[in-house]
Amino acid sequence: MATDPLRGVRVLDLTNVLAGPYCCYQLALLGAEVIKIERPGSGDLARQLGADAARNRAGMGISFLAQNAQKRSVTLNLKHARGKDLLRRMVRRADVLVENFRPGVMARLGLGHDRLSEDNPRLIYCAISGFGQDGPWAGNPAYDQIVQGISGVMSITGDADSAPLRAGYPLADTAGGMAAAFAIAAALNQRPRGGYLDVSMTDAVISAMGWVVSNHLMGGVDPQPQGNENMTSAPSGTFRTADRPINIAANRDTQWQALARHLGRDDLLAHPDYATREDRKRNRIALRDTLETVLRTQPAAVWVDALNRLGVPAGPVLSVPDALQTPQIRDRDLVTRVACGDGTIPLTASPVMIDGTRPAPDQPPPALGQDNAALWSELGLAAPEIAALQDEGVI
């Protein structure tokens, strides 16, 4: 199987910042031709965001670089009549259009799904928003932080003292973007092609909470912040060792038994407080404290190696830099380097391996409007016309 199963698919990327660009980046990594359509003069806001101020000033902020490799960039003023016409001409040659404007914006511009599907009935139109295209919150502005709070994620993150707590990365944007990419890939398989995808970041996050939501809906459980404890089993969570914390997930009875015996605490297996899974869950804090009296006598690496050999899942709690340097991540080429400017930049490749090969970008993130001449020429515009459109602020 080739690593570019979406080869031949043309995607118009009208998105900004993260959820939409992340979605389209995943499609690009799998072979789709992604054309990023940006506002003249400023482009995607992410071009000005990131930890490197010099890159921000140059319109190539790290936040932009991270999600926009393997794409082409054109500039287009969608409020201008000529700009609307050019987009519609592009739509006739496209398979997918992705946008993450606030609901109703594209329709007010005369570029909504109903209008564009007249130009191309086979178009897959994907709208990503914070809350979906309808409902009482549809018109509200939404960023990742807002969605994390509204979805309930913050209420169950942290412990009793620290909750509500935001997850440490843009969970809602990423979940929404991946859900959109999945839906688009599925829609491309439909015959005849064509349709409207309404992707809500909030819906994606609530769906991704899985058992937390199901335990409430079916079991009547009011979800609570569990800190580093696994609500489904015990001992299962984060434990202190002689040097750094580790995670242990002795979720099965056999794993619990192997853990207790390896720690020299066979006596706990006969203790009435720990006889069953439910007993251990009720007494998880006392059990954790008891096990840590032994775990704190040896460094993390010793325990992790020994427990995994016994079939008890265990792993160190690493920083992001440490995780990226582990042989497991490094040797599977999740991070690749792409030529950019006078050097190279590191980027994450696809999270999927296809027949042992990981799809990775070989083209850098584009400068704003760098493909204007080539792409507008493909639409039949001559060089003088392209220059005139630029002078008029259309592109």
Angstrom distance (rounded) from CA 164 to CA 20: 27
Rg, Å, the chain Cα set: 25
Neighbours of 277 (CB within 10 A): 16
pLDDT of residue 1: 58
Q: Which residues pair with residue 128 across a beta bridge?
A: 199
Angstrom distance (rounded) from CA 59 to CA 46: 8
pLDDT per residue as tens digits for the range 165-184: 999 999 999 999 999 999 99
Averaged over 363-392, what is the pLDDT? 94
pLDDT per residue as tens digits for the range 86-137: 999 999 999 999 999 999 999 999 999 999 999 999 999 999 999 999 999 9
Going by pLDDT thresholds of 50, 70 and 90, the confidence category of residue 342 is confident
pLDDT per residue as tens digits for the range 236-246: 999 999 999 99
Task: Please state the domain extents for the chain.
Answer: 10-209+333-391, 236-317
pLDDT of residue 261: 97
Q: Which of 13, 44, 173, 203 is catalytic?
A: 173
pTM of the model: 0.94
Going by pLDDT thresholds of 50, 70 and 90, the confidence category of residue 61 is very high
Angstrom distance (rounded) from CA 173 to CA 26: 13
- Catalytic, 362? Answer no
Fold of 10-209+333-391: Rossmann fold (3.40.50)
Averaged over 28-49, what is the pLDDT? 96
Neighbours of 211 (CB within 10 A): 13
Residue 246's nearest CA partner among 158, 294, 322, 314 is 314
Question: For the domain 236-317, what is the CATH code?
Answer: 3.30.1540.10
Angle of helix 171-188 relative to helix 144-151, nearest 10 degrees, comes to 90
Tell whether the model's pLDDT for residue 284 goes beyond 90.
yes
Neighbours of 143 (CB within 10 A): 15
pLDDT of residue 195: 96
